Amino acid sequence: MRNTLVVLGCLVIGATAGAFQFANAQMASDTVSVARYAPDGRLIRPDGWRTWIYVGTPLTPNELNNGKAAFPEFHSVYIEPRAYAIYKRTGTFPDGTMLIKELVSVGSKEAASGKGYFMGEFIGFEVAIKDSKRYPKAPGGWAYYSFGHHKPPYAKLAKAQKHEACSACHQANAAEDFVFTQYYPVLRAARPKK
């Protein structure tokens, strides 16, 4: 399937500069550079993340957290495909890795399948980027951005959050390089076997 999609792309697009850019990035040092920034340094909201690689969905509903969960929504977490490809090969997140956290409301608590949690509407969009060169002072090289906690359209630009807003919790509790892979079976399964 993937091959067929890829081949279709060939017919439509042909070879462009992008290919050489990617090939160079891979050969150079296992980095990817998908992020784009405005002249003032703010991150430009990436496009197309709903076709990226889904890794998992943590959920901490209000009623299990005294009615006021810090994160009462579903979190749909994605990794950018080129970073995923490198992670599959190396088992580490390369510089340039971009992770997406799209917030989705709890839409329903009962369905034909039983009582539980069913996704409602998109209500927020956040990005984490690892880039030790661009963020030399960020713990682990990870910077965190919020494009708004509301329905789309999300903001087009975002400033990096202060490091202390996100990093400390990721550093203390994430299983692997500031990423909660303990809750992301897709990433654990993708790692190269030792």
Q: Which of residues 112-151 bind its own copies (CB under 8 A)?
A: 112-122
Residues 164-193 within binding reach of its own copies (CB under 8 A):
169, 172-173, 180, 182-186, 189-190
Calpha distance 14→161 (Å, rounded): 39
Q: Does 58 bind its own copies (CB under 8 A)?
A: yes
Cα-Cα-Cα-Cα dihedral sign, residues 93, 95, 56, 73: positive
Residue 20 is inside which H or E element, if any? helix 17-29
Choose which of 24, 41, 44, 60 interacts with its own copies (CB under 8 A): 60
Kindly indicate which of the ranges 72-80, 130-138, 142-150, 158-166 contains the residues binding its own copies, using the contact rule CB under 8 A: 72-80
Residue number, 60 or 90, with CB nearest to its own copies: 60
Bridge partners of 106?
Answer: 119
Task: Decide if 147 contacts 154 (C-beta within 8 A).
Answer: yes
CA dihedral (74, 122, 51, 99) in degrees, to 10, reads -60
Task: Decide if 87 contacts 94 (C-beta within 8 A).
Answer: yes
Choose which of 24, 65, 90, 132 interacts with its own copies (CB under 8 A): 65
Residue number, 78 or 93, with CB nearest to its own copies: 78
Q: Does 27 bind its own copies (CB under 8 A)?
A: no
Residues 82-111 within binding reach of its own copies (CB under 8 A):
82, 84, 104, 107-108, 111
- Shortest distance, position 136 Cβ to its own copies, whole Å: 25
Choose which of 27, 40, 48, 193 interacts with its own copies (CB under 8 A): 48
Residue 54 is inside which H or E element, if any? strand 53-56
Calpha distance 69→111 (Å, rounded): 23
- Shortest distance, position 181 Cβ to its own copies, whole Å: 11
